[in-house]
């Protein structure tokens, strides 16, 4: 292939990729790379991606062929592709499904098989799988049912992702019928991409279906996909989600969009322990224990309900104890729902092994173009640190510098100006530090929702926001997840959790529901200029950059006197 100066991509032999952002073909190239590459860095002019085994296997599980991956690289590459990269893509793709886990035909156990006897020998000889795999006389490897999850984890670590066709326990039957209309009379049906997501998960009820992750933007109806999966499976279902607010929202959606009744749907939280044919629980209650040495009090819920399906909402937040239980319930169907496969603890491999691979995703910008989520504009506003705080910043340790920069009191004046600029538009203000949020709420004369806010008070404030009675709502990290405020069109982020990409995605998602009047969404993140907060902010923005969102940069000159207001209160 000759040199093509008009193409934006440079593919390097170490499987890293450089994308020139200024090229006319850059957006199309980014869309082609996103399904099977991971974005590492996104400075102004050149973005860096990498190809990893997990990124290839997730794409393979979602139906993307090796030829399609290589074609995308060739289409946009400025130079000839390194031969080793083409070989790596094809070989990594070919590894997916070479090993298959099935039920034994001569007993209660499971069998690991492959068309290549030498591959089985390689796997059997690997120390990682010692004690989990049993040699049989017929050239296959035996697996005890209780080791099903551990074996899949071990095989991924060996570089051989297994296709699990061992099937499932049925669970107790439960008919879940979708309504044709909502309680307010509006027609209801799954959107085409939601139907496709359910079909990709269910796979016609075959043993190869019934596990995996669906990746959709916040506001695109992941809950509806979960409900559609429940209807397809037709079995008692355990739904796990992030907080009590999310439990209430799941219950509201189930009652509005299916023919299930109050008697069918139970809540399992700190306040209520009600196990019904559909039970909705929080991760927090499942991981509760009296002390660090005591057992987890409520994990036995997994064994109580004759579940035929477990739905993991916001699966990227799945806590370690629930991972451990999930490893032991591989015979139960599992659906993960998320806006991003990124995990800040690096346990993406465990999601792949124990919940299942990515079965379906739709790029954010595709849904935006089709009108299913709101068009969004992202702006990073850089705010100087007040002069009298700079000396304290200079001598602080790493964590102290980040805290000082995050709670920069100069942000409050900028916040006030942004809220005034968007007066009349439903606005959410969100941040990491409670002292900062209390000052913001006082300055804006707006209510604050934090972790200690009682559930009834949260519900009252959320309802008031939806009704337009509360124009501005200040929220702590409780607003990151499962807060259904479709009217919100402006979000101002005062501070965040270091470089958490998943948090950035979740926060933008708060304002992506389509607006009745068609207006776009505005996402502002306030960052202290020339501080340690800047590189963290750049890392936070990686995921959204990968989805096609560009950040405008605004530099706030500010008044030093205004910035100093509240400076003495900064921790």
Phi, psi of 72 (to 5 degrees): -65, -45
Average pLDDT over residues 399-428: 93
| Residue 496 pLDDT | 82
Average pLDDT over residues 241-256: 91
Question: Who contacts 534 (Cβ-Cβ below 8 Å, separation ≥6)?
Answer: 382, 527, 528
Q: What is the pTM (predicted TM-score) of this model?
A: 0.84
The superfamily (CATH) of domain 192-362 is P-loop containing nucleotide triphosphate hydrolases (3.40.50.300)
* Confidence band, pLDDT 50/70/90 cuts, at residue 480: low
| Residue 558 pLDDT | 52
Name the CA radius of gyration of the chain, rounded.
Answer: 25
- Quickly name the fold that domain 99-164 has: Alpha-Beta Plaits (3.30.70)
Share of the chain above pLDDT 90, in %: 58
Q: pLDDT tens digit string along 142-182?
A: 999 999 999 999 999 999 999 999 999 999 999 999 999 99
* Burial of 141: CB neighbours in 10 Å, binned 0-12, 13-18, 19+: buried
**Is the Cβ–Cβ distance between 405 and 397 less than 8 Å?**
no
Q: What is the mean pLDDT of the chain?
A: 88
C-alpha 447/C-alpha 455 separation (Å) is 14
Share of the chain above pLDDT 70, in %: 95
* Confidence band, pLDDT 50/70/90 cuts, at residue 1: low
* Confidence band, pLDDT 50/70/90 cuts, at residue 547: confident
Q: 164-173, 205-214, 303-312, 365-374: lowest mean pLDDT where?
A: 365-374
* Confidence band, pLDDT 50/70/90 cuts, at residue 571: very low
- For the chain, the domains span 9-95, 99-164, 192-362, 371-569
| Residue 565 pLDDT | 42
Tokens 């124009």 correspond to 471
Longest dimension (CA), the chain: 81
Coil, strand or helix: which one is 211? strand
pLDDT at 355 > cutoff 50 = yes
**Is the Cβ–Cβ distance between 484 and 189 less than 8 Å?**
no
User: Considering only CA atoms, which of 327, 325, 277, 336 is closest in space to residue 302?
Assistant: 325
Q: Are 192-362 and 371-569 in the same CATH fold?
A: yes
Whether domain 371-569 has CATH 3.40.50.300: the reply is yes
**Is the Cβ–Cβ distance between 468 and 426 less than 8 Å?**
yes
353 DSSP assignment:
I
Average pLDDT over residues 245-266: 94
Which two structure tokens, joined as six digits, stand for 459?
Answer: 């519900």
Q: pLDDT tens digit string along 498-516?
A: 667 777 777 887 788 877 7
| Residue 562 pLDDT | 42
| Residue 479 pLDDT | 67
**Contacts within 8 Å (CB) and 24+ apart, 188-196:** 188/257, 190/224, 190/225, 190/228, 191/221, 191/224, 191/372, 193/220, 193/360, 193/362, 193/367, 193/372, 194/221, 194/224, 194/225, 194/228, 195/228, 196/360
* Confidence band, pLDDT 50/70/90 cuts, at residue 567: very low
C-alpha 260/C-alpha 51 separation (Å) is 44
Tokens 């080793």 correspond to 84
Average pLDDT over residues 228-239: 97
C-alpha 244/C-alpha 226 separation (Å) is 18
**Is the Cβ–Cβ distance between 45 and 22 less than 8 Å?**
yes
* Confidence band, pLDDT 50/70/90 cuts, at residue 373: confident
Question: Who contacts 183 (Cβ-Cβ below 8 Å, separation ≥6)?
Answer: 256
């Amino acid at each position: 292939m000759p040199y093509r100066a008009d193409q934006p991509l440079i593919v390097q032999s170490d499987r890293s990729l450089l994308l020139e952002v200024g090229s006319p073909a850059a957006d199309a190239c980014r869309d082609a790379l996103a399904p099977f590459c991971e974005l590492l860095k996104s400075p102004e002019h050149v973005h860096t991606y990498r190809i990893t085994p997990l990124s290839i296997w997730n794409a393979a599980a979602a139906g993307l062929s090796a030829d399609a991956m290589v074609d995308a690289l060739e289409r946009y590459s400025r130079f000839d592709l390194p031969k080793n990269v083409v070989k790596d893509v094809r070989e990594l793709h070919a590894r997916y499904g070479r090993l298959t886990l099935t039920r034994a035909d001569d007993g209660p156990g499971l069998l690991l098989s492959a068309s290549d006897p030498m591959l089985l020998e390689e796997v059997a000889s690997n120390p990682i799988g010692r004690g989990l795999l049993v040699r049989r006389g017929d050239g296959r490897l035996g697996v005890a049912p209780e080791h099903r999850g551990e074996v899949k984890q071990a095989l991924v670590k060996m570089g051989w992702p297994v296709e699990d066709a061992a099937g499932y326990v049925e669970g107790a039957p439960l008919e879940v019928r979708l309504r044709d209309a909502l309680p307010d009379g509006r027609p209801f049906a799954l959107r085409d991409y939601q139907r496709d997501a359910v079909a990709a998960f269910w796979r016609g009820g075959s043993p190869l279906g019934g596990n995996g992750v669906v990746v959709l933007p916040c506001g695109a109806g992941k809950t509806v996909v979960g409900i559609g999966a429940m209807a397809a499976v037709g079995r008692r279902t355990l739904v796990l989600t992030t907080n009590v607010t999310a439990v209430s929202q799941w219950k509201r959606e189930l009652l509005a969009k299916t023919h299930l009744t109050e008697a069918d749907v139970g809540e399992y939280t700190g306040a209520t322990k009600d196990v019904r044919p559909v039970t909705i629980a929080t991760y927090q209650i499942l991981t509760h224990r009296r002390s660090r040495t005591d057992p987890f009090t409520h994990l036995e819920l997994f064994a109580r309900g004759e579940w035929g399906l477990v739905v993991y909402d916001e699966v990227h937040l799945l806590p370690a104890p629930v991972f451990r239980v999930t490893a032991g319930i591989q015979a139960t169907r599992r659906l993960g729902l998320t806006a991003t496969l990124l995990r800040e603890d690096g346990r993406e491999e465990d999601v792949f092994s124990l919940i299942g691979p990515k079965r379906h995703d739709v790029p954010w910008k595709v849904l935006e173009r089709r009108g299913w989520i709101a068009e969004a504009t992202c702006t990073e506003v850089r705010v100087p640190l007040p002069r009298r705080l700079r000396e304290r910043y200079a001598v602080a340790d790493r964590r102290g510098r980040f805290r000082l920069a995050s709670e920069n009191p100069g942000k409050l004046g900028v916040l006030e100006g942004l809220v005034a600029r968007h007066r009349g538009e439903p606005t959410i203000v969100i941040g990491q530090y409670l002292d900062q949020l209390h000052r913001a709420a006082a300055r804006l004369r707006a209510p604050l929702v934090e972790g200690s806010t009682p559930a009834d008070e949260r519900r009252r404030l959320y309802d008031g926001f939806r009704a337009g009675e509360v124009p501005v709502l200040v929220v702590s990290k409780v607003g990151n997840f499962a807060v259904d405020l479709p009217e919100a069109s402006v979000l101002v982020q005062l501070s965040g959790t270091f470089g958490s990409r998943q948090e950035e995605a979740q926060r933008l998602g708060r304002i992506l529901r389509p607006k009745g009047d068609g207006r776009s969404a505005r996402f502002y993140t306030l960052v202290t200029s020339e501080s340690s907060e800047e590189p963290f902010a750049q890392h936070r923005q990686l995921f959204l950059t990968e989805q096609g969102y560009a950040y405008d940069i605004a530099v706030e000159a500010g008044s030093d006197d205004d910035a100093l207001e509240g400076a003495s209160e900064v921790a």
